[in-house]
Structure 1
């Protein structure tokens, strides 16, 4: 009898969690704004980066965060957005940056048809479509400026990100052994490409 009671509680817990998740996802889809970053977003972007770095080992920096000043971040936003084939986007919810994506095109003429992207979302918002929304913006922008190839690097054990990238048609084209070094341990990264033309 106790097992049956525990099982029933488990089922109710599951449905409650799913109801909460679906309600939150619906709120996310209606209230999240994805837009190009502006100079005035620098402080919020730094806060985001410092929080995101402490939540995952999938970024190029960890819980120590980034060492940019607000002025340096403003300059970086300006540099990326003033490039003809570069743009930084933020996902914004109720005054908080919850996701960031950027695309930076190569400058030398012979490789100017290529661009590299980076994308991250705060852990509380994983699985809620924020990454897809940011990726849609990146790809739309890339196409609008004539980018033909988008590249990225991703840890080989970051299955969630790899699944997202593969849904968009990215393909692995190489492995960078020992790309990350975290607390004395090495982790490999995949190189992935998306051909837009």
Structure 2
């Protein structure tokens, strides 16, 4: 993705663009918020904390890496979501990337996650990425349906992969989208 792209869904205008080092402090806050709003993420609130300097380093590294993409979604001057595609520098794995996304709960239902994914798919296709993978909790049926609608298929299941607050174990679904064009 080059530059930025404007969207409007259900009377909410927002913009998707590449992350910049200046976004670091806002990303610290939005990541903490998202992790505390849902159990669909891998982390509990505050776990695997990344500070402002850590985000700056990550964004800089992603800008320099051929197969990485870090996007943010903005409403006004607020970052309300982000996504990241992470690839490998290893030749045997350079054809694939892993996608991850997070959107603040108060902005769910506006297509922000879907459009972050669509922009990432377009970028992957333009960069001749053959395989795009993601992981999704088995209980997140809305996300699974969206991923399938956008061409992802189930590749496998990690049984008893997550222990949630109810004390129960849940499976993680492994999904992939293949770009052979």
Asked if TM exceeds 0.5, the reply is yes
Length-normalised TM-score, structure 2: 0.89
Query: Over residues 26-73 of structure 1, what are the superposed CA-to-partner deviations in whole Å (9 max), with x where a residue is unaligned?
Result: 322xx2010000011011111110110111001111223541221011
1:79 and 1:187 map into 2 onto residues whose CA distance is 33
TM-align CA RMSD = 1.5
Query: Over residues 80-101 of structure 1, what are the superposed CA-to-partner deviations in whole Å (9 max), with x where a residue is unaligned?
Result: 2221011100000011111111
Q: What does residue 185 of structure 1 align with?
A: 168
1:40 and 1:62 map into 2 onto residues whose CA distance is 26
Length-normalised TM-score, structure 1: 0.82
Q: After TM superposition, what 4+ stretches of structure 1 lie above 4 angstroms from structure 2?
A: none
2:93 and 2:57 map into 1 onto residues whose CA distance is 24
Q: What does residue 126 of structure 1 align with?
A: 108
Q: Which moves more between the two structures, 146-155 or 127-136?
A: 127-136
Higher fraction of helix: 1
Does 1:27 find its partner at 2:43? no
- How many residues matched? 172
Greater gyration radius:
1
Query: Over residues 96-148 of structure 1, what are the superposed CA-to-partner deviations in whole Å (9 max), with x where a residue is unaligned?
Result: 11111110112211121111100121111212111121011101111121101
| Residues 97-176 of structure 1 aligned to structure 2 (within 5 Å) | 97-176=79-158
Higher fraction of strand: 2
Q: Which moves more between the two structures, 36-45 or 99-108?
A: 99-108
Unaligned runs of 5+ in 2: 1-7
